[in-house]
Amino acid sequence: MVDAKKILVVEDESHLAKGLQFNLEREGYIVSLVDNGESAIELLGKQPFDLMILDIMLPKVNGIEVAKRVRNKDIRFPILMLSAKSSDEDRELGLEAGADDYLTKPFHLPELLLRVKGILRRWEWYKEPVHDQEVFHFGGMWINFVNGRAKGSSGEFYLTAKEALLMRLLVSQKDNIVRREELLEKVWGYDPQTETRTVDNFVARLRKYFEKKPQSPRYIITHREKGYEFKS
């Protein structure tokens, strides 16, 4: 049990929270429960966790606010949002606030467990060192993969969690072609709602940040029908 992953479940519905705890513990995770956003932020400051399962409608500080506050400190920390709010707008709001995945209530237990596994797998991969240091330098620019801060062709800014993950994956395999499928799996976890075009859109965004001439890129190169390559 030394390597058991720690999961923080933030859910004010006690029945659901207990059910989640039972199932996650059966899968070998160590689970902590809190029933409001304030306690969640407090506990995250005190203990390290590998994943947070977060409800939106929470007393004191709501889930969206919790996700935003966590993201401000750490762009990588995995968050799975679990909410009864099922409209597209709610989903977008959750993902924009920084959730890595969004599952609506009522949900299927096997699907929840698979998603938890998927997020933790991506998190593990992201934790692998990309370079000697957490800050990666190239062509007078740099990216800090811990806090998402970066210096691009036109100054300093913050990358979003997904942008940082994508960049991280490309950089970790620099001078090699990374297939679109691999990018999709590792960054988006094969969410059925994610189209392959999403990767192209994100790459276009990264080029705007880091390329002087995004139309004829120097660092992020497209290989037609194959994938993308980061050229050092």
Encoded one letter per residue, x for contact with another protein by CB under 8 A and - for no contact, window 191-220 reads ------------------------------
88 binds another protein (CB under 8 A): no
114 binds another protein (CB under 8 A): no
Q: Which stretch binds another protein (CB under 8 A): 44-52, 81-89, 190-198, 212-220?
A: 81-89
Q: Per CB under 8 A, which of residues 32..61 are in contact with another protein?
A: 35, 57-60
Neighbouring residues of 155: CB distance < 8 A, sequence distance ≥ 6:
none
Contact 56, 78 (CB under 8 A): no
110 binds another protein (CB under 8 A): yes
107 binds another protein (CB under 8 A): yes
Q: How far is CA 184 from CA 96, 113, 155, 178, 189, in A?
A: 18, 20, 28, 10, 6
Nearer to another protein, 15 or 197 (CB): 15
Site for another protein (CB under 8 A): which residue of 45, 48, 106, 140? 106
Starting at the edge strand that comes first in sequence, how are the strands of the sheet with 135-138 ordered? 135-138, 141-144, 149-152, 155-158
DSSP 186: I
Nearer to another protein, 28 or 139 (CB): 28
Starting at the edge strand that comes first in sequence, how are the strands of the sheet with 51-54 ordered? 30-34, 6-10, 51-54, 79-83, 101-104
13 binds another protein (CB under 8 A): yes
Task: Please give the helix or strand (H or E) that residue 42 lies within, else none.
Answer: helix 37-46
Q: How far is CA 98 from CA 51, 52, 54, 165, in A?
A: 13, 12, 11, 13
Nearer to another protein, 30 or 221 (CB): 30
Site for another protein (CB under 8 A): which residue of 32, 62, 147, 222? 62
89 binds another protein (CB under 8 A): no
**Contacting positions for another protein (CB under 8 A):** 13-16, 18-20, 22-23, 26, 35, 57-60, 62, 84-86, 105-110
